Amino acid sequence: MNKLRFLLQYCKSNQKKVCISILVFICIAAFTVVVFNVMHRTDENKTEYTEYYEGGISRVVEQIPIFSAVEPQTLHFSHPAGLYQRPFHLQITLEHEVEGASIYFTIDGSNPVPGSSFLYTSPLFIVNRTPVSNVLSAIPGYRIGCFLVYFEDYFTPPEAPVFKGTVIRAQAFDQYTRPLSDIVTKSYFVCPDIFTRYAGLPIISLATDAANFFDDEIGIYVRGHNNTGGHSHGDPTPNWEQRGREWERPVHFEMFETDRERVIAMDMGVRIHGGATRRLAQKSLRLYARAYYDPMQPTISHDIFQGGAVDIFGEPIVEFDRLLLRNFGNEGNGTMIRDAGLQYLSRHLNVNYQASRPAVVFLNGEFWGAYYIMERIDAMYFASHYNVSRHDVAVLSRSTRYGFVLAEGGEDDLEDFRNLEEFFYNNSFSSDFMYRRARQYIDIDNFIDYYILQIYFGNIDWPGNNMRVWRYNGPPNPDVPGLDGRWRWILFDLCSTTGFSSFSFNYYEDTLKRILHLPEEREPMRGEVFAHPDSTLMFRRLMENESFRVKFVNRFVYIMDNYFQEELFLDMVDSFAEQLRPVVPEQIERFGRLYNMEAWEYNLGILRTFGINRQGYMLEFLELNIP
């Protein structure tokens, strides 16, 4: 106590000295915090460098960058990224001469590292690299096992060289190997017929350290060593089945439009996308635009779908946070156009669908096949389509294993939908009163169009699987369709439809009966596992109501007469097939899911036959099932 009194008296008599001491203490503390933050910077400020190890593939490691004291420089390339018919010499120079500066570059997709990467000393001769041995295309580590009858048993890497471009990633360093410039990435494709080789298709070039895809510990594309104890189609959980941000890897994304101008060049994140098709050699990829990867380009800014993606007000969407590169799903050994083409046919109906566009993809310069660029169905999709916050959107997803689960939103959204299911389970809807109550919770016009499409196309991988619903849970706006808070159904994944294979339904099969009646009320049909009674409950209950039945039948006939006419269906098949035709031979050689072009044409014929014959049979099924 006496010591405390002494301290207070000292402070009163020496106020100036105390103030100075406090000021010095604050300065020291502030300096300590700054130093600590520099040494322990958050993930957003970290960059990545490449550490080489035994085995030839490099591992991605995070390190805080230490930039040179010299003003940041810009690297200049003598030739823009793009397509060239003849070889050429590429010069790389600094904007200003800096004493002791060096330029390092790579051609394998990895980030330049002084001492490990190539030192630039003279112009680079850019040629057609196809004769060079396959690297990534030759990796056997992503073979698959058979788990469904329509998937091939094994993948065999191509023996012949695949078509290759050259990806240059360059960066300048000072004499102390500190970065002088950002990493600059440019892709070049050299071939005499390069301007006609993929006529009408955009070209996408992905560049990343090979370890991000193929390392057993961190690679997202391989089986790997990360068994989490779960199972995926009979296998211990492999790397390609891992989910979440921790399994997202950095990638540089370039897109060359059909006029061969580079319209996108940015750093992004990439994950594996899909369900069962993650096991395939050609996997779907999900791309994320984030300020974390590219502060100057936090979103993708380009009319990627050429007016095909529009918001609720009819305006083209030209800004995207996420995109898919889809591998044709289950149908890579079929026509490869079913999902994209059928969604395109449905674009004017009361459903949300995915805009799409075929493209050719290269990974670190190697031909990685044809893909469909597609919108990703998530909260960001609805934010851009309805001009709302993604935090005000809930998305639920249904699978055969788990039923409906929360994809995005809050637990109260999931509870609300489960209460809705309970409401349908416990009530009859033969009365118009109960039908009106149901319409308060779900958008009936959307529900009817969605079920008509799935029934007409004969989707065998539905409704117990591949069903998603969404709602807006912000302040209701009844004047804007979709923003009234009711649940709506989303159209996606139409691969297993329209007579795709012996496993799926064809034009002469009654797919209305499949979901209108319980299994014990009819003869067994294929795909029973995907038609569990819980998944057909709402439709069966609503069909108890005469007003709903009349509305459903009338709408069904109207859609067939106006949107699924034989001519419209065949025009879709022909136009989508012609878009893909230039790349199909290379696709067959690369992945082998189709035997030859004749097999592809045969599958297109099956799809055409479905479009020609389905309407007549469907009218009969309506009369048989709905008196």
The pLDDT assigned to 58 comes to 39
Which of 89, 94, 95, 80 is CA-nearest to residue 124? Answer: 89
Whether residue 4 lies inside any domain: the answer is: no
Q: Taking phi first (over 0 means left), then psi (-120 to 50 degrees means alpha), and beta for anything else, what does residue 323 get? A: beta
Domain that holds residue 517: 393-625
Whether residue 621 lies inside any domain: the answer is: yes
The pLDDT assigned to 35 comes to 33
Q: Could you tell me which residue, 72 or 603, shows the higher pLDDT?
A: 603
Whether residue 536 lies inside any domain: the answer is: yes
Give 303-349 pLDDT, tens digit per residue: 999 999 999 999 999 999 999 999 999 899 999 999 999 999 999 99
Give 268-291 pLDDT, tens digit per residue: 999 999 988 998 999 999 999 999
Whether residue 608 lies inside any domain: the answer is: yes
Lowest mean pLDDT, pick from 34-38, 184-188, 227-231: 34-38
Whether residue 557 lies inside any domain: the answer is: yes
Q: How confident is the model at residue 142 (pLDDT cuts 50, 70, 90)?
A: low
The pLDDT assigned to 519 comes to 86
Q: How far is CA 168 from CA 26, 79, 312, in A?
A: 49, 12, 41
Q: How confident is the model at residue 55 (pLDDT cuts 50, 70, 90)?
A: very low
Segment 189-197 mean pLDDT:
97
Give 515-531 pLDDT, tens digit per residue: 999 988 888 888 888 88
Q: How many CB atoms lie within 10 A of CB 411?
A: 8
The pLDDT assigned to 226 comes to 76
The pLDDT assigned to 156 comes to 84
Whether residue 588 lies inside any domain: the answer is: yes
Segment 433-461 mean pLDDT:
98
Whether residue 412 lies inside any domain: the answer is: yes
The number of distinct structural domains making up the chain is 1
The pLDDT assigned to 627 comes to 81
Per-residue pLDDT at 50 exceeds 90: no
Give 65-84 pLDDT, tens digit per residue: 556 666 788 999 999 999 99
The pLDDT assigned to 503 comes to 78
Q: How many CB atoms lie within 10 A of CB 13?
A: 9
Per-residue pLDDT at 407 exceeds 90: yes
Per-residue pLDDT at 478 exceeds 60: yes
C-alpha 52/C-alpha 618 separation (Å) is: 61
Q: Could you tell me which residue, 264 or 49, shows the higher pLDDT?
A: 264
Per-residue pLDDT at 1 exceeds 60: no
Token pair, residue 588, equals: 């067959």
Per-residue pLDDT at 13 exceeds 50: no
Lowest mean pLDDT, pick from 47-51, 130-134, 268-272, 444-448: 47-51
The pLDDT assigned to 311 comes to 96
Lowest mean pLDDT, pick from 61-65, 90-94, 309-313: 61-65
Token pair, residue 302, equals: 């380009």
Give 409-428 pLDDT, tens digit per residue: 999 999 999 999 999 999 99
Per-residue pLDDT at 558 exceeds 80: yes
Segment 529-548 mean pLDDT:
95
Q: How confident is the model at residue 130 (pLDDT cuts 50, 70, 90)?
A: very high
Q: Could you tell me which residue, 402 or 625, shows the higher pLDDT?
A: 625
Per-residue pLDDT at 52 exceeds 50: no
Segment 239-264 mean pLDDT:
96
Q: How confident is the model at residue 165 (pLDDT cuts 50, 70, 90)?
A: very high
The pLDDT assigned to 235 comes to 54
* Sign, Cα dihedral of 118, 209, 325, 369: positive
C-alpha 51/C-alpha 569 separation (Å) is: 53
Token pair, residue 170, equals: 């360059």
Average per-residue pLDDT in the chain?
88
C-alpha 60/C-alpha 293 separation (Å) is: 14
What count of residues does the chain have?
A: 627
Whether residue 149 lies inside any domain: the answer is: no
